[in-house]
Amino acid sequence: MNLPNKLTIFRILIVPFFVWVLLADFKYASIIAVTLFILASLTDLLDGYIARKYELVTDFGKFADPIADKILVISACVCLVEKGIVPAWSVLIIIFREFIVSGLRMSAASKNIVIPADKVGKLKTVTQMIAIILLISGWLNYFYLPYICYYISIFLTLISGIMYIIKAKDIIL
């Protein structure tokens, strides 16, 4: 197993600890949770960079990397609903989009068609991760920046989902 794939697995394994700490009630829980989330987010950047730079892209990585991202982001968002920080409807938008895009990608793959991630999808992921970091940490709450960033990520989630549907219209039809 190569390094990028190990980083992807590490990201998945961090999630239960991250969730436990985020939902725990002790003095430094939010600092530890945000640190774990940042660490997991950085492995996402690092595994893709290493895989491309050193030509270590594998079928496992193509499958597991986006799944690891979804596990991390959705777990964080569900915890933020549990804590009363974000509304459930917004997380449902994220979950619905991920199911639709994953279904379209699987359907396309069965026909040997690849629907690559686009810039809006990547921007959506980065914006979600930044918003989650800001929401967990409570940084800059007095400017509503965490919420502004979060709702921008929800908007990008909708837009990128629609773009995937448009790209896959031939597969759907």
Own/partner long-range contacts of 125-128 (Cβ < 8 Å, ≥24 apart): 125/44, 125/69, 125/73, 127/152, 127/153, 127/156, 128/73, 128/77, 128/94, 128/153, 128/157
Query: φ and ψ at 115, to 5 degrees?
Result: -105, 100
Q: Show Cβ contacts of residue 108 under 8 Å, excluding neighbours closer than 6 positions.
A: 114, 115, 168, 171
Flag whether the pTM goes above 0.85.
yes
| Residues 155, 123: Cα–Cα separation, whole Å | 11
Taking only the tens place, the pLDDT of each residue in 106-124 is 888 888 877 777 899 889 9
Share of the chain above pLDDT 90, in %: 72
pLDDT for 47 equals 93
Distance separating alpha carbons of residues 118 and 95, to the nearest angstrom: 18
Q: What CATH number does the domain containing 24 carry?
A: 1.20.120.1760
Please say whether the beta carbons of 153 and 124 come within 8 A: yes
Q: Which domain holds residue 151?
A: 3-172
Q: How many domains does the chain have?
A: 1
Closest CA to 127 of 85, 158, 96, 82: 158
pLDDT tens-digit series, residues 124-151: 999 999 999 999 998 767 778 999 999 9
**Would the pLDDT of 162 be above 90?**
yes
Q: pLDDT tens digit string along 16-69?
A: 999 999 999 999 999 999 999 999 999 999 998 999 999 999 888 888 898 999
